[in-house]
C-alpha cells in the first residue's frame, strides 16, 4: 500500500515550526559575532588605509559546494579589494553546521534561516567590521545575492530603536548608520520578504541587477519591494540583464543545476559592482 502524500498544510506547519524555533534563539551581537567571526572571509586592499568596508552576503547555497569553496563571492570580494574596500564575506551556514545539501533543501526552500534571521548576521558583521584595523566607520556598502539579497533588504527595514532582526537581543541603535550603499544581485523578493510590505529605515544609494525571465526571483515578483525601496527615499538604480539565468555569475554550478554560468556577463557584473563601490566611496568623501 502506498502511504498518503503529505498535504501542503503539513509542509506549511513544518516551515512555521522551524521558523519559530529559529526565532526563539536570542543572542547578543557579541554572541552572534562569537558564532560567525571564525567563518568570516576578509579580503583587504593594498595600502595602509583607512578603508571603507563592503559586506557581502551570499545566496542560499552558501560559500561551499560539493567540491569545496565556491568562487562567486571571492570574485566579487577581489573586485571590492581592488577598488580600495575591505571586503567581509558573511558565512551564515558553516557556523550553524548547515552544509551544502542541507542549505539547498532547507534554506533555499525557505524552511529555515530566512532573510529576516540572516539580517541579524549583517548587523553583527557591521559591528565586527567597525573594529577591524584600517577600517573606516562609515561609507559601508552591504551587498546581497539571491537569498542574501533578501537578507540585505530585510535588514534595511528594521528600525533598531524599536525592534531589531529576529534572534538578535541588543541591536545597536546606530546599526545602519555606517551604510551608505546597498547593492543587490537577482534578490529574492517572494514570500516572507519584509520589503514587500515595509519601507526601509534608512535611504542610502541602492543599485540592483535583475535577470529577465528569472525563474527564482523574477523582476515582476520584486515590483512591490522595489516600489517600497523607492518610496523610502532611496536613490535607486535598476538594470536588467538579458540572455542569462539566475546565478549567471557563479562559475562552479552543480552538474544538475538549471542555472548557466556566463563568463563575459559575470565580468560585466563585477565591473558594475566595482563602479558602484567607487561612487559610494566618492559620495562618502564629499
The domain in which residue 107 lies consists of 41-285
* Residue 36 lies inside a defined structural domain of this protein: no
Dihedral in degrees, nearest 10, Cα atoms 219, 225, 228, 232? -100
Q: What is the pLDDT of residue 76?
A: 97
Residue 74 sits in a domain of what CATH number? 3.40.50.1820
185 in Cβ contact with 249 (< 8 Å): yes
* Residue 209 lies inside a defined structural domain of this protein: yes
pTM confidence score: 0.90
Q: What is the pLDDT of residue 3?
A: 32
Q: Which three cell numbers stand for residue 21?
A: 524555533
Best CA proximity match to 188, nearest among 60, 79, 98:
60
Best CA proximity match to 84, nearest among 279, 277, 244, 246:
277
* Residue 75 lies inside a defined structural domain of this protein: yes
Could you list the mean pLDDT of each consecutive 10-residue stretch along the chain, which spans 286 residues? 37 40 72 96 93 97 80 96 98 94 90 93 96 93 98 95 89 94 97 94 97 94 96 96 97 90 98 98 81
Number of domain units in the chain:
1
* Residue 20 lies inside a defined structural domain of this protein: no
* Residue 150 lies inside a defined structural domain of this protein: yes
* Residue 9 lies inside a defined structural domain of this protein: no
Q: What is the pLDDT of residue 280?
A: 97
* Residue 35 lies inside a defined structural domain of this protein: no
* Residue 102 lies inside a defined structural domain of this protein: yes
Amino acid at each position: 500500500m502506498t502511504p498518503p502524500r503529505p498535504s501542503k498544510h503539513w509542509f506549511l506547519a513544518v516551515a512555521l515550526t522551524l521558523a519559530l524555533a529559529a526565532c526563539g534563539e536570542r543572542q547578543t551581537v557579541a554572541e552572534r559575532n562569537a558564532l560567525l567571526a571564525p567563518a568570516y572571509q576578509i579580503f583587504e586592499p593594498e595600502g595602509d588605509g583607512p578603508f571603507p568596508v563592503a559586506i557581502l552576503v551570499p545566496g542560499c547555497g552558501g560559500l561551499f559546494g560539493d567540491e569545496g569553496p565556491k568562487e562567486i563571492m571571492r570574485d566579487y570580494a577581489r573586485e571590492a579589494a581592488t577598488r580600495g574596500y575591505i571586503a567581509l564575506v558573511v558565512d551564515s551556514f558553516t557556523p550553524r553546521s548547515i552544509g551544502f545539501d542541507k542549505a539547498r533543501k532547507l534554506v533555499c526552500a525557505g524552511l529555515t534561516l530566512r532573510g529576516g534571521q540572516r539580517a541579524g548576521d549583517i548587523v553583527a558583521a557591521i559591528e565586527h567590521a567597525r573594529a577591524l584595523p584600517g577600517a573606516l566607520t562609515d561609507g559601508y556598502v552591504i551587498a546581497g545575492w539571491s537569498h542574501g539579497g533578501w537578507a540585505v533588504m530585510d535588514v534595511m527595514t528594521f528600525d533598531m530603536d524599536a525592534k531589531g532582526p529576529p534572534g538578535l537581543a541588543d541591536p545597536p541603535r546606530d546599526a545602519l548608520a555606517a551604510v551608505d550603499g546597498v547593492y543587490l544581485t537577482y534578490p529574492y523578493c517572494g514570500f516572507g520578504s519584509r520589503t514587500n510590505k515595509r519601507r526601509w529605515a534608512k535611504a542610502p544609494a541602492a543599485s540592483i541587477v535583475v535577470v529577465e525571465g528569472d525563474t527564482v526571483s523574477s523582476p515582476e515578483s520584486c515590483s512591490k519591494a522595489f516600489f517600497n525601496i523607492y518610496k523610502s527615499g532611496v536613490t535607486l538604480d535598476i538594470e536588467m540583464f538579458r540572455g542569462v539565468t539566475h546565478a549567471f555569475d557563479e562559475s562552479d554550478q552543480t552538474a544538475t543545476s538549471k542555472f548557466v554560468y556566463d563568463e563575459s556577463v559575470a565580468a560585466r557584473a563585477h565591473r558594475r559592482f566595482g563602479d558602484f563601490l567607487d561612487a559610494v566611496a566618492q559620495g562618502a568623501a564629499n
